[in-house]
Amino acid sequence: MENNISVRPAYEEEWQDAMGMAWLTFLKYDAKDYLPSGVRNFHDFITDEGLFQMFKRGQYQMFLAFENKQIVGVITLRNVNHISLLFVEKEHLRKGIGRKLIDYVHNYLLSEVGAESLTVNAAPHGVGFYHKLGFCDIAPETMKDGIIFTPMKLYL
């Protein structure tokens, strides 16, 4: 794990950079598994002004991982305890940043929210990662709106 990585809640002015990094990482690793409609739907989701407004109102949480003031990872939560997005910049994969983001959210949910579980709809590329962290499948792989995912849960 990289020791010079810090994680903290995102600021409003970091939204565009974080979503841009998520989009580029999605294109590199996930888009190939999706139908063209799924790629469009994902893009529409991360560029939706309504989602940004929810973030500004505190209804959609975003946490960022930094290395030397550069965003290298992003995790978002919706509905209090559901991972909506988790992306690590391609140059920083397999260095423990995804785990650090999950650990940060895990501690946040326990200390700030009192949640008992954390859920995610894992992209095919991320299923193994989530399994290594203790997430269990709660339904088979599914496709909705061209997006393929496996519903998973981690009890905190």
Output the pLDDT for position 33.
86
pLDDT recorded at residue 1: 46
Nearest to 83 by CA among 105, 110, 65: 105
Domains with residue ranges and CATH for the chain? 5-155 (3.40.630.30)
Q: Does an H or E element contain 16, and which? A: helix 15-29
Structure tokens at 59: 């209804």
pLDDT tens readout for residues 5-16: 999 999 999 999
Q: What is the pLDDT of residue 119?
A: 98
* Radius of gyration of the chain measured on its C-alpha atoms: 15
pLDDT means per 10 residues in the chain (156 residues)? Answer: 83 97 94 92 96 96 95 96 95 91 95 93 94 98 94 96
β-strands 82-88, 5-9: how paired?
Answer: unpaired
By C-alpha distance, which of 38, 44, 45 is closest to 60? 45
What pLDDT, on the 0 to 100 scale, is given for residue 99?
Answer: 96
Sign of CA dihedral 28, 126, 87, 22: positive
Number of neighbouring beta carbons within 10 Å of residue 3: 6
Nearest to 75, CA basis, from 13, 65, 130, 121: 65
Q: Quote the CA–CA distance of 8 and 4 in Å, as a whole number.
A: 13
